């Protein structure tokens, strides 16, 4: 430690942004430019977190976290360390309802009108191969995105699921075989009823030609190849099937389903997207 920066604890540290006794709080000084800032905070924070797991109660993983709050026009800066302090207190329980509670605390700690966060993490599900029953771990990229103010609370969960599709057109016009490819289906739901990440994954996987696995033996490969061939799907089929499946498990206020196939015989991807808004549906069908 350099001379002149000997401290007993963080509260005495002149490099920290919280104000020790007798030290200037620069962030709270007046700013004369009268320009409010919509979002200011920390970006790209890598942190261990704990989320709910249907099979094991809890799952430990690592997240990349962005945390922001608004800043009134007359404040020079925000107190960055307070974002980390609040998040650290909540990292061991980041179930979906607790995520919004964490944002409430961020807003209050920063004396802000609105707090925002998007959190990206890998979720693992143990999966048995369809014939050999060999078990392995499948990874799914997930995210939480939330915004909390005094009068509004909005929270979205996104799950990205890899799948396999066989082209119905290719199968119909070919004397033998059909082109197939891996794709990604992204499901974003606005928090409404309680649900498990595993439920969203299951809806997507049964909506494709077949799901994919980390570990397969030859009997499994044969089974999945034939299963996919017997169940061809366009991207349009996939998003429609997921749409119907989401309506069946709960009354989400809004959701969005996107499918992208990484085409095996084209130099581009095939893409489809559907969206649902309960308020719009009820207005059209009173």
Q: How confident is the prediction for the chain on average, in pLDDT? A: 89
How many domains, in total, are found in the chain? 2
What are the tens digits of pLDDT across the range 35-81? 889 999 999 999 999 999 999 999 999 999 999 999 876 767 678 89
Asked if residue 262 and residue 218 are part of one domain, the reply reads yes
Residue 33's pLDDT is 72
CATH code of the domain covering residue 81: 3.10.270.10
pLDDT, tens digit, 9 for 90 and up, residues 153-165:
999 999 999 999 9
Taking the chain, what is the end-to-end CA distance rounded to the nearest angstrom?
69
Residues with Cβ within 8 Å of residue 242, at least 6 apart in sequence: 185, 187, 203, 204, 207, 257, 259, 274
Check whether residue 248 and residue 285 sit in a common domain.
yes
Task: Mark which of 104, 124, 144 sits at the end of a domain.
Answer: 124
- What CA–CA distance (Å, rounded) separates 5 from 7? 6
Cβ neighbours, 10 Å, residue 62: 12
Range of the domain at 80: 1-124
Residues 3-41 have pLDDT tens digits of 333 333 444 443 455 555 556 555 555 656 778 899 999
Return phi, psi of residue 22, to 5°: 80, 10
Is the pLDDT higher at 5 or at 106? 106
How far apart, in whole angstroms, are the C-alpha atoms of residue 38 and residue 144? 20
Neighbouring residues of 89: CB distance < 8 A, sequence distance ≥ 6:
102, 105
Q: What is the pLDDT of residue 13?
A: 45
What mean pLDDT comes out for the span 201-219?
Answer: 98
More confident residue, 227 or 72: 227
- Rg of the chain (C-alpha set): 24
Q: Say yes or no: 266 and 217 in one domain.
A: yes
- Give the pLDDT confidence score for residue 97 in this predicted structure: 78
Q: Does a structural domain hold residue 271?
A: yes
Average pLDDT over residues 243-258: 93
In a domain, 13, yes or no: yes
Spatial CA neighbour of 250 closest among 211, 196, 208: 196
Range with the poorest average pLDDT among 29-33, 88-92, 198-202: 29-33
Of the candidates 63, 71, 74, 76, the one whose C-alpha atom is nearest the C-alpha of residue 116 is 71
| Same domain, yes or no: 111 and 229 | no
The DSSP 8-state label assigned to residue 230 in this structure reads T
Segment 201-216 shows an average pLDDT of: 98
User: What tokens does 94 get?
Assistant: 């980041």
| Same-domain status, 161 and 286 | yes
* 168 and 243 inside one domain: yes
Domain boundary among 80, 104, 124: 124
**Element spanning 20, H or E:** none
Confidence check: pLDDT of 212 > 70: yes
The angle at the Cα of 234, spanning 230 to 240, to the nearest 5 degrees, equals: 105
246 vs 276: CA distance, rounded Å: 10
């Amino acid at each position: 430690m350099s001379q002149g920066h000997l401290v007993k604890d963080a509260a005495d540290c002149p490099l920290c942004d919280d104000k020790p006794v007798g030290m200037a709080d620069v962030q709270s000084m007046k700013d004369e430019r009268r320009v409010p800032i919509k979002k200011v905070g920390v970006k790209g924070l890598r942190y261990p977190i704990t989320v709910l797991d249907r099979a094991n109660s809890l799952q430990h993983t690592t997240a990349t976290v962005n945390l922001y709050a608004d800043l009134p026009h007359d404040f020079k800066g925000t107190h960055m360390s307070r974002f980390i302090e609040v998040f650290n207190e909540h990292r061991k329980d980041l179930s979906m309802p607790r995520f919004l509670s964490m944002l409430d605390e961020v807003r209050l700690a920063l004396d802000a009108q609105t707090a925002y966060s998007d959190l990206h993490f890998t979720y693992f599900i143990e999966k048995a191969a369809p014939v050999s029953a060999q078990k392995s771990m499948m990874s799914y990229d997930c995210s939480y995105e939330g915004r909390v103010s005094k009068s509004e609370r909005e929270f979205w969960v996104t799950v990205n699921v890899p799948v396999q599709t066989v082209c119905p057109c290719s199968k119909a016009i070919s004397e033998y075989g059909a082109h197939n490819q891996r794709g990604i289906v992204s499901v974003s739901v606005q928090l409404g009823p309680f649900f498990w990440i595993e439920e969203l994954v299951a809806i997507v996987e049964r909506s494709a030609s077949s799901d994919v696995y980390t570990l397969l033996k030859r009997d499994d490969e044969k089974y999945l190849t034939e299963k996919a061939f017997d169940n061809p799907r366009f991207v349009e089929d996939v998003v429609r099937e997921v749409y119907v499946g989401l309506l069946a498990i709960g009354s989400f206020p809004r959701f969005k389903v996107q499918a992208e196939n990484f085409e095996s015989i084209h130099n581009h991807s095939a893409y489809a997207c559907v969206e649902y808004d309960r308020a719009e549906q009820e207005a059209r069908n009173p």
